[in-house]
Structure 1
């Protein structure tokens, strides 16, 4: 009659240790999923099977840079060069510090005649100053991006702009309203703070220029929280369709900052409540204006 020998003491200890590690891992995963908050808001430009992702602060700055170029009727190439430059200089963040006295999106220096620090820290001003110098570069549209950017910036690292060229081109295509590109953002859960239609209107005119005629809804309640932006041409031509998408995507890029709850144009709508779904079909397909609703 045979007997089974008891397991060696070392094997039992290793088994106990493995069980303890497994239980600790299970406990960590449970705690992680129980306490993890929602994913951070992100914005995404897409075209040709490629995506470029950035956070709401970067998206808002990028859309302002695009809007300033649009107000000056500059080509998409100019916007691409500006976006690549700001991406390299500041990461598309309106920083208040830098090398020596450099500040702002383009790291412009007051001591080099770009303006005062207070002026340069204004994204509309700094983008405008960049475009002022860019358009003075002979044939800038045909130059390699890094060459055109360097002729404005006079950087110690001129080749660095090139690494942002592809992403900047994708972002410019999306923000200028090109039909083959798309742009959307997710937003964080509402915290109950209302937005201001008047603030949206003011920001639109600051970024795109006073020639834009956004109208704040009259009356009270929901109507007073809506901004309507008429699109020249009624959205019937390809150019007016592009313009409508440009304005609508600007609003989505600024949704977190301006507490925008919904944007609609051309039979499509984006809402903060369903921002993860991107753009969806709108019931108001007949509208040829861009409509922006703020949180209430």
Structure 2
């Protein structure tokens, strides 16, 4: 191209091509302390000025912050759940963990209850209850002017007669005989000190006669110990009476005298009415 071309002239007049290289070389030769560059003109100089650089940086930061905020706002509804739902989910998760913990601690197989052992009966349980003591018979109310002790002895005589199936007339004979011999009291003998070792209610001196019927051991009625028992003495009298032939057809005094062989054979008759009242009361 011709050197006089206007385009070549413009390119030549604008700036030498070797200018940038020379400046770089100049900067390197300066050393550690660079010399301040001269202010540049045009758009490049405007961009490198300090106030404009600060404004531009501030604008860029605002744009970036707005973009980040817009991105967060766009993503928030998808990533973050409402507070109530989050609390419910956490509660459900806690329940699941608690259930799993209970399942791990519980026995995998149900344990059947052990059978209740049969109680072994103790000695106290197997012990038979003690037999009840028979109630004491009520003491009969005295009649015919007797004392309680006399009425108790009369009851013994009547009870023994019942055991031997003696008729009522035989019981009246026995009670009347005891009224005459001992006044219905259990006598010991002053002649036989042994007789006083047994329960007694009075002491007599008619030889060795003892008990309700004043029977003598020396005559074979029994021992002193036996005759001092009212029941034994009454039984001995009844057995002797039952051996008398026709005693039921005899008078009371004859039947009693046949058994007792007393020195006063007619003395028994005086007690017949009272003896009858006593036997009626006891039977």
User: What's the TM-score once normalised by structure 2's chain length?
Assistant: 0.45
Structure of larger gyration radius: 2
Of the two structures, which has the highest relative contact order with CA contacts closer than 8 Å and spacing of 6 or more? 1
User: Which of the pair is proportionally richer in helix?
Assistant: 2
